[in-house]
Amino acid sequence: MAKLTLEGLELIDAIDRKGSFSAAGDVLHKVPSTISYMVSKLEEDLGVALFHRNGPRIEITPAGKELLREGRLLLQAASDLECRVKRVASGWESDFQLGIDSLLSTESLSPLIGEFNKVADATSLRIVEETLTGTWESLLEMRSDLIIAAGPGPAGGGYQAKEVAKLEFCFCVAPFHPLAKAKEPLSEAQVRAHRAVVVADSARHLPLRTTGLLSGQATLVVPNMRTKFRYQTEGLGVGYLPALCAQEALDAGRLVRKRVQSERAIEPLSAAWRVGAQGNALQWWVERLADPSFMKRVLDSSRRAYAVSAGARERARSRDMAHL
């Protein structure tokens, strides 16, 4: 049976912080004689001296310091656990995981996160990035509680989804790419002759999804949409980009939009959660993402993030050229 209790740790912590038994007694609402007895009993149970007594003055021993160092971590953990239990009892989840498709900037969620923290300060929030079917899979396999996912959801159900935006796609090439000056619309044969930059689907078990890729076309596979955007502006390949990613680069001339014979269709961007899932955190996020003004902030922030990224690379390239 454990001889060390949270009450004992609180006692040692109070004595160390206040510097005497009597001052610790004031904090713990106990008389000094009771504090002295409790310390002696704890030392007897543990078989170690925790304090040196020099009359009214006390000094913590090395064993006491070690106990206090680890003990304060336990006290904090106990306090955190108490808060989480109370929060769960009030309807708030202790942990909440939000999965977003990599085409969105995670930084775009910062305004919502700040607002969420004000109402759910004891809920631990985790943001994870997935791609294509992998975003949906993270929900179905319970790695995420709520997702913001691009494209249609997988067959089989088990989730509820609400469209929060529509995604338009542009076939883009760098201005110095061979296709930039080719006559439109581009044929499949013209597109197939050039390497496509493709974002890897992060799904582990569900069938992988590939979009905008022609049969037999050479590929450059990258981990997320930010890398795809960068590589296409550098002329390393071609492919479709969401308009929210590409628009600023198109306006600045860093990318050229080309019409093709078979354009990629508009796709939904959806917020989705598991059927039967409950909790105040889930409800809070679902309501915010369903609000067009909140979602507009997320999309605008993602758009700016791509523009800033492209502008920073252009400035760095100009500086490098100036030093040659």
Question: Given this model, what pLDDT does residue 63 score?
Answer: 84
CATH number for region 167-267? 3.40.190.290
Report the chain's terminal Cα–Cα distance, integer Å. Answer: 74
Residue 23 phi, psi dihedral angles, 5° rounding: -65, -35
CA distance 294 to 288: 6
Residues 136 and 201: beta-carbon distance below 8 Å: no
Question: Given this model, what pLDDT does residue 310 score?
Answer: 59
Instruction: Give every residue of the chain whose pLDDT is below 50, as ranges.
Output: 312, 315-317, 319-324
CA distance 153 to 271: 10
Give the start-end residues of each E strand in 27-179: 51-54, 57-60, 95-101, 124-130, 146-150, 159-167, 169-173
The closest of 103, 132, 99, 98 to 227, measured between CA atoms, is 103
CATH class of 95-165+268-307: alpha beta
Same fold, 95-165+268-307 and 167-267: yes
The closest of 267, 219, 213 to 243, measured between CA atoms, is 267
Task: Decide if domain 6-89 falls under CATH 2.60.40.10.
Answer: no
Provide the 8-state DSSP code for 78: H
Question: Given this model, what pLDDT does residue 321 score?
Answer: 41
Question: Given this model, what pLDDT does residue 219 score?
Answer: 94
Question: Taking the CB of residue 131, how many other CB atoms lie within 10 A of it?
Answer: 24
The structure's pTM equals 0.70
Question: Given this model, what pLDDT does residue 69 score?
Answer: 85
The closest of 28, 25, 30, 27 to 56, measured between CA atoms, is 25
**Dihedral through CA 212, CA 216, CA 222, CA 228, nearest 10?**
-40
- SS3 of 166, please? strand
Residues 6+ apart with CB under 8 A from 260: 171, 184, 185, 186, 187, 188, 191
Q: What does the radius of gyration of the chain's CA atoms come to, in whole angstroms?
A: 29
- SS3 of 57, please? strand
Q: Give me the residue spans of the domains in the chain.
A: 6-89, 95-165+268-307, 167-267
Residues in the chain: 324
- SS3 of 209, please? coil
CA distance 178 to 235: 9
